[in-house]
Amino acid sequence: MRPTDAPLDNLHGGRKGLCLVLSAPSGAGKSTLVARLRAEFPGFAYSISCTTRAPRAGEEDGVHYHFLSRETFISRRDAGFFAEWAEVHGNFYGTPKAPVEEKLAQGHDMLFDIDVQGALQLKQVFPQALYVFILPPSKEVLERRLRGRGTDAEEVILKRMRNALGELTQAVHFDYHIVNDDLEEAADELRAVYVAGRARAICRPGLLPGLMAQWGPR
Ligand code: ADP
Ligand code: 5GP
């Protein structure tokens, strides 16, 4: 586990939360990379999405997703509950707006694991966020991973493979492309993107004034 740089930032007057947005074709390994990043940086606030898809084995309501009926999702969507939403592989997914605004205001970094359409919507709302696209090393490996995961029916796998090409087409709009071939290398690159992002001047608004104040009034 790696310590956060909170003490340094507290010393210099607080910091602003960073948004790290990850997208990938299903099966590329995004959940695996997200789990590693969250284990390494436990201070990350994670956006728990709403979805209309059925829970998979081991998934808990309120932990992995908020599992909603289609009717509830649509009524929340129409009431402006979501920062972004999209229909992915035949199900609705959306990011609840209020917890995001709350966490960012408290200075927490936020991690988003969302589909390409949703990420591009978020770009309108949070243009200063970091947008990372996780690529599979090849079509063959992507299909093998989808099957190897053993969680989805054959027709779901084929649908996800068909959708992958459209998603790859949108990857040009992302800031970073990380190939998840060797897991360690991909995790290293993702960590590097995040750590560098945290050092951006806009995330440390208190740093410079705090340091300059040591010279006394001008
Ligand atoms: P996603 O969240 O993008 O749909 P997952 O994280 O569930 O993908 O990964 C799909 C499958 O591929 C899982 O069984 C996972 O353990 C495996 N996997 C992920 N990354 C790698 C990797 N670098 N090498 C080999 N297998 C991987
Ligand atoms: P899964 O059903 O495998 O958990 O997720 C399918 C896809 O939906 C993934 O690409 C995942 O990132 C995306 N997804 C999960 N939550 C959200 C969300 O809140 N908004 C959008 N747009 N996509 C999401």
**Is the CB of 51 inside a 6 Å radius of any atom of ligand 1?**
no
Which among 68, 88, 107 is the end of a domain? Answer: 107
pLDDT at 218: 79
Q: What distance, in Å, lies between the first and last C-alpha atoms of the chain?
A: 42
pLDDT at 14: 67
Q: Are residues 15 and 119 in the same domain?
A: yes
**Is the CB of 185 inside a 6 Å radius of any atom of ligand 1?**
no
Tens of pLDDT, residue by residue over 182-218, are: 999 999 999 999 999 999 998 888 889 889 999 998 7
Residue 79 belongs to domain spanning: 46-107
pLDDT at 104: 84
Q: Are residues 172 and 114 in the same domain?
A: yes
Separation of 189 CA from ligand 1 center, angstroms?
A: 16
**Is the CB of 136 inside a 6 Å radius of any atom of ligand 1?**
no
Q: Report the atom number in ligand 2 closest to the C-alpha of 49.
A: 19
Q: Are residues 54 and 135 in the same domain?
A: no
CA–CA gap between residue 33 and residue 49 (Å, rounded): 17
Q: Are residues 64 and 117 in the same domain?
A: no
Higher pLDDT, 128 or 21: 21
Does some domain include residue 167? yes
Which tokens belong to 10?
């507290």
Separation of 32 CA from ligand 1 center, angstroms?
A: 6
Say which CATH number the domain at 52 has.
Answer: 3.30.63.10
At residue 144's C-alpha, the angle toward residues 95 and 41, to 5°, is: 45
**Is the CB of 183 inside a 6 Å radius of any atom of ligand 1?**
yes
Higher pLDDT, 138 or 47: 138
Separation of 13 CA from ligand 1 center, angstroms?
A: 39
Q: Are residues 20 and 126 in the same domain?
A: yes
Query: Based on the structure, what is the number of domains in the chain?
Result: 2
Mean per-residue pLDDT, 25-51 = 94
Q: Are residues 60 and 38 in the same domain?
A: no
pLDDT at 107: 85
Say which CATH number the domain at 185 has.
Answer: 3.40.50.300
pLDDT at 11: 40
Q: Are residues 128 and 148 in the same domain?
A: yes
Separation of 25 CA from ligand 2 center, angstroms?
A: 10
**Is the CB of 163 inside a 6 Å radius of any atom of ligand 1?**
no
Tens of pLDDT, residue by residue over 46-79, are: 889 999 999 998 999 999 999 999 999 999 999 9
Q: Are residues 39 and 116 in the same domain?
A: yes
Q: Are residues 141 and 36 in the same domain?
A: yes
Q: Are residues 24 and 117 in the same domain?
A: yes
Which tokens belong to 36?
């590693």
Mean per-residue pLDDT, 115-134 = 94
Q: How many CB atoms lie within 10 A of CB 11?
A: 12
**Mean pLDDT computed over every residue of the chain:** 91
Q: Are residues 36 and 120 in the same domain?
A: yes
| Contact criterion met (CB below 8 Å) for 44 and 109 | yes
List, in sequence order, every residue forming a beta bridge with 21; answer none if it has no partner: 112, 131
pLDDT at 45: 92
Q: Please tell me the residue having the least CA distance from ligand 1 atom 11.
A: 145
Q: Which residues contact 113 (CB under 8 A, 6 or more apart)?
A: 22, 30, 31, 34, 46, 47, 49
pLDDT at 201: 92
Separation of 90 CA from ligand 2 center, angstroms?
A: 11
Separation of 216 CA from ligand 2 center, angstroms?
A: 50
191: nearest Cα among 41, 89, 65, 28: 41
Per-residue pLDDT for 113 more than 50?
yes
Which tokens belong to 158?
């084929």
Backbone φ and ψ for 196, nearest 5 degrees, come out as -65, -40
Q: Are residues 68 and 15 in the same domain?
A: no
Higher pLDDT, 11 or 71: 71
Percent of the chain with pLDDT over 70: 94
Mean per-residue pLDDT, 67-96 = 96
Q: Report the atom number in ligand 1 closest to the C-alpha of 134.
A: 3
- Residue 160: HSE in the Cβ half-sphere, 13 Å Cα cutoff: 21
Which among 60, 80, 107 is the end of a domain? Answer: 107
Q: Report the atom number in ligand 1 closest to the C-alpha of 181.
A: 23
